[in-house]
Amino acid sequence: MRSDILAHIDTDRLRHNVAALRACCADGVKFCAPLKADAYGHGVAVVAPILMELGIECAAVATMKEAVELRQLGWQSEVLVLGNVLAVGDADERHQRLTAASELRLTLTIVDDAGLQAVRTHASSGPIAVQLKIDSGMGRMGVLPDDAASLAKQILDCNNTRLTGVYSHFATADLQLRELADQQLATFRNLREELKPLVGDDCAFHLANSAATLTMPDAHFDMIRPGLAMYGYAGADDWRSIADLRPILRLTSHITLIKELPANHCVGYGQTFTTRRRTRLGIVPVGYFDGFARALSNNATIQTAAGPAPVIGRISMDQLAVDLTDLDGCRLGSEVTLVSDDHASAQSVESLARRLDTIPYEITCRLGPRIDKIAHGSPP
């Protein structure tokens, strides 16, 4: 049986977005595809085969479990684990993670001496691939610039490690804080000039997120990591003037109940909505567990074949209510669209993010486990 909630993933649009982003770069610049958080909520089992077909050189995930899952899906290229996954108190767990990294050819991120020491003391059949992360100004993960060269030399001197990359991350996804972005770029560029003679040509330097891929060619270096843009969403208004980004997700469900309510009747928990007229009410089996946020209660529309239907009353865990009074043609079982693949729609990922005062990433990453992710388009 299929789910009552379907995420339709347009694989041809995904191919298009990858091509559009590659076209922003010089020849030879590699592509690292962020596939963490279930491919930003789009379903890694749907997205990964398309990217394999396209010859993507690297995938980025956050956790060891995500990395193992990707290998189980058949991913053969490099898998970069972004999290500091060796910082666990349980020695057996740390050993298991290092063994998996060795056996499955996973690339671990090193940010301090402790992580390197864990790799150095692990018995493995060959060197474990690692990348060095630099804190170029974000103040989160990474070694500070003044300590980067020393840690890089320790990695190179370690028989148990093979350094495949050096990377950092911009503090603003849309680069609106341009002074900080420029400072980070300058810091990373200076470190690259210092480290390049030590690490050789096989070590990839990478910094560019989606915004930098589109607007800062000087930040491309050896590889780009465009997450949001790869899935077709724009973090700033000018992105689509640079590249034709096409959203790959459409989220649908259907109407499971239609009933008539009299005027002055409560709808949903908390009595946040009371009908002012005789109202034709529709129920859709989608709630906040599925990623349709409670904050959209009385604050959104969903699309029906007859037009947009306002969400009324408080969104609950498993259901929401809509007003169908002014819409002809809606029937029991009629399909509705909750998230549109038209970026100009009121149901687009970007529109929902603005309505919730959040970012597009959070909209797609909220998609819950009850949702079936279905590929549409040419098969890999």
Boundaries of every domain in the chain: 24-230, 249-376
Which residues carry out catalysis? 36, 269
What single-letter DSSP state applies at residue 296? G
pLDDT of the chain along its 380 residues, tens only?
A: 999 999 999 999 999 999 999 999 999 999 999 999 999 999 999 999 999 999 999 999 999 999 999 999 999 999 999 999 999 999 999 999 999 999 999 999 999 999 999 999 998 888 999 999 999 999 999 999 999 999 999 999 999 999 999 999 999 878 788 899 999 999 999 999 999 999 989 999 999 999 999 999 999 999 999 999 999 999 988 899 999 999 999 999 999 999 999 999 999 999 999 999 999 999 999 999 999 999 999 999 999 999 999 999 999 999 999 999 999 989 999 999 999 999 999 999 999 999 999 999 999 999 999 999 999 998 88
- Look up residue 71 and give its amino acid: R
**CA separation (Å) from 271 to 275, 287, 295?**
10, 17, 15
Q: Nearest 5 degrees, angle CA 239-CA 63-CA 129?
A: 95
**CA separation (Å) from 127 to 70, 103, 328?**
21, 11, 66
- Look up residue 193 and give its amino acid: E
Walk across the sheet containing 335-339 and list its strands. Answer: 257-261, 279-284, 320-323, 307-312, 301-304, 335-339, 249-254, 6-10, 372-376
CATH node for 249-376: 2.40.37.10
Strand pairing report for 320-323 and 279-284: antiparallel
Strand pairing report for 128-133 and 161-167: parallel
**CA separation (Å) from 290 to 238, 256, 293, 314, 328?**
31, 16, 8, 15, 28
Q: Say how far apart CA 148 and CA 156 lie, in whole Å.
A: 12
Q: Are 62 and 90 in contact (CB under 8 A)?
A: no
Q: Are 155 and 115 in contact (CB under 8 A)?
A: no
Tokens in use for 369? Answer: 């486990």
Which residues fall within 8 angstroms of residue 237, CB to CB, at 6 or more apart? Answer: none
**Helices assigned H by DSSP within the chain:** 11-22, 36-40, 44-53, 64-72, 91-103, 113-120, 145-157, 178-199, 210-215, 227-230, 239-242, 349-355, 360-365
CATH topology of domain 24-230: TIM Barrel (3.20.20)
Q: 198: helix, coil or strand?
A: helix
